[in-house]
């Protein structure tokens, strides 16, 4: 009889844990209109990057990895957008998603001419806070500090959608 009650307790605890974990995961999935986490990682100089440092600007946050071909197609597009519009209007933060040290050093060396800000999410803690499960995963944070656009993946129509979202935000009063 005692073993049955212990078994029931274990089942109840498992159900409570499953409920808690599913609610935590649901709470971390960001949507349009949400305010994303302020901390975006450290740049190559070890300086912490925060959204709050870019008030009044549009901030594009892209989670990417060196082993992701669509990510590597998207990064030069984002670099070009930042260069054309100027860092006074648009700031791109490219958050590397879980590359090992060797991969990260190699890819940052290849991207050293880029002006976008590279940060790193080595253990995946930042991506969990943003609800990122697949890459590339892009967020555009408007001047108000809220998410105005997000997309998962990168395809032929991605650039047009990003530009549309940026134009809409730039023309808003």
Tell me the Ramachandran region of residue 98: left when phi exceeds 0, alpha when psi lies from -120 to 50, beta otherwise.
left
CA distance 95 to 62: 6
The pLDDT profile of the chain, 173 residues, written as one tens digit per residue, is 556 565 455 444 544 344 433 333 344 689 999 999 999 999 989 999 999 999 999 999 999 999 999 999 999 999 999 999 999 999 999 999 999 999 999 999 999 999 999 999 999 999 999 999 999 999 999 999 999 999 999 999 999 999 999 999 999 96
CA distance 83 to 90: 9
- Provide the whole-model pTM: 0.83
Which residues are CB-neighbours of 72 under 8 A, at least 6 positions away?
Answer: 64, 66
Handedness of CA 128, 130, 133, 134 (dihedral sign): negative
């Amino acid at each position: 009889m005692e073993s049955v009650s212990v078994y029931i307790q274990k089942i109840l605890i498992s159900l409570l844990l499953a409920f808690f974990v599913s609610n935590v995961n649901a709470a971390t999935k960001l949507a349009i209109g949400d305010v994303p986490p302020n901390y975006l990682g450290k740049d190559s100089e070890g300086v912490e990057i925060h959204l709050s440092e870019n008030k009044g600007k549009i901030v594009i946050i892209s989670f990417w990895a060196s082993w992701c071909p669509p990510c590597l197609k998207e990064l030069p597009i984002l670099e070009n957008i930042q260069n054309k519009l100027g860092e006074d209007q648009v700031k791109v933060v490219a958050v590397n998603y879980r590359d090992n040290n060797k991969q990260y050093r190699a890819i940052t060396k290849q991207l050293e001419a880029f002006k976008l800000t590279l940060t790193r999410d080595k253990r995946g803690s930042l991506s969990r806070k943003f609800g990122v499960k697949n890459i590339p995963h892009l967020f555009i944070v408007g001047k108000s500090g809220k998410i105005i656009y997000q997309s998962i993946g990168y395809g032929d129509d991605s650039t047009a959608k990003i530009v549309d979202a940026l134009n809409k935000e730039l023309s808003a009063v």
